[in-house]
Amino acid sequence: MEMWKDTIFALSSGAPPSGVSVVRVSGPQTRLILETLIGNCPSPRTAAYRTIRTRNGLPIDGGLVLYFPGPASFTGEDCAEFQIHGSRAVVSALSKELATFPQTRLAMEGEFSRRAFENGKLNLVEIEGLADLIAAETEMQRRLALEQSSGGLSRLYDSWAERITRSRALIEAELDFPDEDDVPGSVSDQIWASLAALRLEIEEHLSHAEMGEIVRDGFKIVIAGAPNVGKSSLMNWFAQRDVAIVTEIAGTTRDVLHVDINLNGYLVRLYDTAGLRDTADIVEQEGIRRAQVALNNADLVLFLVDMGSPSLIDPADLERAPSRVIVGTKLDLYSAVDCYDLQISTMTGEGLSELRDLVSSHIEQRFGGLSLSVPTRERHRDTLSKCVNALSAAIEQEGQSLEIRAESLRLAGEHLGRITGRVDVEDLLGIIFSEFCIGK
């Protein structure tokens, strides 16, 4: 595409004002831009302090300038970085000057990373990991994204693809040279067992996909129970601010309220729901319906029960939440009893630290021993599932000809290639790179 011949630029750091702003440039006009704006091209990969001027010689700012000649750069093209003072006026003046160069324009979302992909510097899994690393808010998100962006997951998928390729090569050899002495005979005896073992490895890997997606997207905890049992008060305690309205009037919460918290390095998405009860109020009925939907989608449900007037939890609601904790509330008003998993008081704080520890231990148990080389996106999971199906077709169709079984293996390898981008994935690129910020 002609657009890939353009030189692109963008602010790659946070929005001004800031102490320092970084403006990144990539493309064939990079050397001309440097020679024009600072008088020469600095030594590669060496920070040089320069006065940055317009074409008319008017100073824009003084700052550090770096030059990265391709292909030894992030994008694989000639690149430069201007580290300037982070005022809106300075950034705007430099951007306007860059736009005056021929075939030079402001970059689109993710265009630097897309050029890195097009030039073979990064594959799709590494690029998705990079996007997740930029967006990471918790320690586990950072670690998971770093594993992907540094190529750990890609190496695993590449090793699987290589094993499939070797198996295909043996089959093709037998098909093409059935009478040659140096070609191993009885291919099926040699490769189907190893392919079955590979299928087991991929299925085991797939079994952790849900955990990877939870680390990336958040562990969903729903606070549920009858009206006025203290759900909103508990929500506010976890959030350390007034997220939900707390009153003595039953049915105050009419919708599902949500707040994100960082719990021991994990992103936890906490939901406060409408009180579960029979009501004639149409609006409250809709809130209760949404609460029940939230129960179905939760990773953990905290069922709250008022210990002063305990109401039975609907067995149907319990069935919606196989992973649950029953919590007695208002411990400051009533004596402790043993029929709850835990008892708390949001007024005095009693039992709240224990509840937090219980939730943390539940999350840790779910993720205990989890490898960081796990699928984190639905795209990965769907494509790996298709790979497993193609492997199964090759392994189990013993009555079919070797040619047909070899074609199933080819499809399995192609699915693995689509994850990293080693086969045609043009239809995916726009979606993937649109998630990036402009300067990446």
* Residue-wise pLDDT tens digits, 240-259: 766 655 544 444 555 568 88
| 383 domain-assigned | yes
pLDDT at 423 > cutoff 70: no
**CATH number of the CATH domain containing 115:** 3.30.1360.120
Report the pLDDT value the prediction gives residue 79, as an integer from 0 to 100. 97
The whole-number average pLDDT for the span 20-34 is 96
Mean of the per-residue pLDDT values of the chain: 83
Residue 425 within a domain = no
Both 228 and 357 in a single domain? yes
133 and 204, same domain (yes or no): yes
pLDDT of residue 102: 93
> What's the pLDDT score for residue 10?
95
111-118 vs 124-135: helix axis angle to the nearest 10?
160
Q: Using one digit for the tens of pLDDT, what is the confidence trace for 61-92?
A: 999 999 999 999 999 999 999 999 999 999 99
Tell me the two tokens of residue 64: 């550090």
* 386 contacts: CB under 8 Å, gap ≥ 6: 411, 415
Q: What is the structure's pLDDT at 278?
A: 67
Is 151 a member of any domain?
Answer: yes
Mean pLDDT of 417-423: 82
Taking only the tens place, the pLDDT of each residue in 325-352 is 888 888 888 777 777 888 888 888 888 8
Query: Of the candidates 73, 103, 121, which is a domain's last residue?
Result: 121
| Domain identity same for 14 and 140 | no
Q: Which of 99-103, 263-267, 424-428 has the lowest mean pLDDT?
A: 424-428
Q: What is the mean pLDDT of residues 283-294?
A: 76
| 17-26, 258-267, 306-315 — most confident range | 17-26
* The pLDDT of residue 151: 87
Residue 224 and residue 291 in contact, taking contact as beta carbons nearer than 8 Å: yes
Q: What is the pLDDT of residue 383?
A: 93
Is the bond preceding residue 178 a cis peptide, omega within 30 degrees? Answer: no
Q: Hey, how many other C-beta atoms are within 10 angstroms of the C-beta on 378? A: 11
pLDDT at 316: 78
pLDDT of 317 above 50: yes
Residue 186 has pLDDT above 80, yes or no: no
Mean pLDDT across the stretch 224-234? 82
Residue 239 vs residues 168, 254, 356: alpha-carbon distances, Å: 55, 19, 12
Query: What DSSP string describes 135-195?
Result: H--SHHHHHHHHHHHTTHHHHHHHHHHHHHHHHHHHHHHHHH-TT-TTSPS-HHHHHHHHH
| Same-domain check for residues 97 and 196 | no
Pick the closest to residue 133 from 112, 119, 147, 116 (CA basis).
147
Lowest mean per-residue pLDDT among 2-6, 370-374, 394-398 = 2-6
Residues of the domain holding 14:
2-121
Residues 261 and 338 in one domain: yes
Buried b (16+ CB within 10 A) or exposed e, 53-82: beeeeeebbebbbbbbebeebbbbbbbbbb
Amino acid identity, position 104: T
Residues 221 and 202 in one domain: no
> How many domains is the chain partitioned into structurally?
3
Q: What is the pLDDT of residue 438?
A: 60
Q: Does residue 322 come out as left (phi exceeding 0), alpha (psi in the -120 to 50 range) or beta?
A: alpha
Is pLDDT of 14 > 80?
A: yes
Strand blocks (E) in 183-263? 219-225, 257-263
Are residues 185 and 297 located together in one domain of the fold? no
The 8 Å CB, 24+ separation contacts for 305-311 are: 305/225, 305/226, 305/229, 305/329, 305/340, 306/225, 306/226, 306/228, 306/229, 306/230, 306/330, 307/331, 307/333, 307/334, 307/337, 307/340, 307/343, 308/333, 308/334, 311/226
Residue 1 — pLDDT band, cuts 50, 70, 90? Answer: very low
Write down which residue in 93, 121, 149 finishes a domain: 121
From 367, 384, 402, give the residue that closes a domain: 367
Say yes or no: 290 and 344 in one domain.
yes
Say what the pLDDT of residue 249 is: 47
Confidence band of 363 (pLDDT split at 50, 70, 90): confident
Residue 25 placed within a domain? yes
For residue 428, tell me if it sits in a domain: no
